[in-house]
Each structure stands twice: as C-alpha cells, then as structure tokens.
C-alpha cells in the first residue's frame, strides 16, 4: 500500500473520529435536555455505537478498501481527541441553543394555532352559550306572561277546590276515616 493511500485513510479516520465526537456530544446534550428514561438512554447508546461502527467501517472502506491497520486506529483516536479538545464545548453550546430555538419556535406555533383556531372557536362557543341564555330568558318571560294571562283560569278553581276541601275536612266522619287509614298504614 502506497503512502498516499495511508495518508488518505488517516485523514478519513480523523474525520470519522470527529464526526463520532460530534454525534456523541449532540446525543448527550439532547438526552440530558429532554430527560430520556434510563431504558431509552440505553437503547439510544446501543443505536449510537452501531451507527458509529457502521460509519467508521464505511469510511475505512472508502479510504483503503477496508484494510484495518494501526494508523486507522491512530487516526480515529486523534480525530476524537482533537474534536473533544477543540470543538466539544462549542458544539454543546450550539446544540443547547438549537434546542432552545426549536422550543421557542414550537411555542410560537402553538400560540399561533391558539390565536388562529382556538380563539375563534372560543368566541363561537361564547356566542352559542349567549344565544342559549337569551332564548332561555325569552322562554321564561313568555311563561311568566302566560301565567299572568291564564291566572283567572287556574286561580278561581283552586280557590273553589280548597274551600270544598276545608268543608270536607271539617266533617267528623272524614277525620275519623283519615285517622283510621293512617293507623292501618302505620302497621
């Protein structure tokens, strides 16, 4: 294998190590910010390492047809080390800022949905409730007017019936009969 292929493979491995560090930092910040459960975190760790292994072997295959040499491991280690030495803090801050930006945009979209859809629905609901209340008050007013108009029809017979009931109650045989019925009823 000629030196050019070795240098290209070393550069590919440096790049692969840096990309692995970038992906790991991004994943770590997202898992902390979004409070993933332990089980989900373990599954995502496994997924990360599988994706990283596939990516590294793909880069290794692109560099020197998949031949695994010492300089490939050296390039991978140096790529991860340089990434964590130089870019890690900046990337973590950027990912935090990106998460906050996405959360802000989502809250703006939610507010927009509430304003565009929720408020008109609330107004329609309030209009419907107001119309029902108005119809209920109108109905009660009509009933009061009808009661006032029909008062002679039901007040006079009620007075006649109540007078007849008082006369009937004054009779001794009714009083005796009602006492006898209550006594039987209580047994």
134 in any annotated domain: no
Tens-place pLDDT, residues 114-150: 899 989 999 999 999 999 999 999 999 999 998 888 8
What pLDDT is attached to residue 150? 81
- Residue 162 within a domain: no
**CA distances to 2, 52, 87 from 61, in Å:** 16, 14, 26
- Domain assignment present for residue 136? The answer is no
Provide the pLDDT for residue 124.
Answer: 94
Q: Are 25 and 92 in contact (CB under 8 A)?
A: yes
Residue 5: the pLDDT is: 73
Would residue 182 count as lying in a domain? Answer: no
Number of separate domains in the chain: 1
Does residue 169 surpass a pLDDT of 70?
Answer: no
Is position 140 within any domain?
no
pLDDT over 80 (residue 187):
no
Query: How far is Cα 103 from Cα 112, in angstroms, rounded to an integer?
Result: 14
Report the 3 state secondary structure along the chain: CCHHHHHHHHHHHHHHHHHHHHHHHHHHHHHHHCCCCHHHHHHHHHHHHHHHHHHHHHHHHHHHCCCCCHHHHHHHHHHHHHHHHHHHHHHHHHHHHHHHHHHHHHHHHHHHHHHHHHHHHHHHHHHHHHHHHHHHHHHHHHHHHHHHHCHHHHHHHHHHHHHHHHHHHHCHHHHHHHHHHHHHHHC
Q: Is residue 114 part of a domain?
A: no
Check pLDDT > 90 for residue 78: no
Would the pTM count as exceeding 0.75?
A: no
User: Could you give the CA distance from residue 74 to residue 79 in angstroms, rounded to a whole number?
Assistant: 8
> Containing domain of residue 74, as a range?
3-96
Distance CA 60, CA 73 (A): 10
Residue 165 lies in a domain: no
Q: Is residue 115 part of a domain?
A: no
Residue with tokens 């996405």: 102
């Amino acid at each position: 294998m000629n030196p050019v292929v070795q240098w290209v493979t070393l550069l590919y491995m440096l790049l692969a190590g840096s990309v692995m560090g970038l992906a790991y930092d991004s994943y770590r910040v997202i898992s902390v910010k979004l409070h993933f459960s332990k089980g989900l975190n373990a599954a995502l760790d496994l997924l990360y390492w599988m994706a990283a292994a596939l990516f590294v072997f793909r880069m290794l295959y692109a560099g020197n047809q998949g031949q695994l040499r010492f300089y490939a491991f050296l390039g991978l280690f140096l790529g991860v080390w340089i990434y964590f030495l130089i870019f890690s803090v900046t990337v973590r801050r950027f990912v935090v800022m990106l998460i906050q930006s996405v959360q802000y945009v989502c809250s703006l979209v939610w507010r927009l949905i509430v304003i565009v859809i929720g408020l008109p629905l609330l107004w329609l609901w309030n209009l419907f409730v107001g119309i029902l209340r108005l119809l209920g008050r109108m109905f009660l007013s009509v009933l009061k007017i009808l009661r006032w108009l029909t008062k002679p029809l039901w007040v006079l017979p009620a007075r006649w019936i109540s007078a007849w009931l008082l006369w009937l109650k004054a009779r001794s045989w009714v009083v005796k009969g009602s006492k006898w019925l209550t006594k039987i009823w209580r047994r």
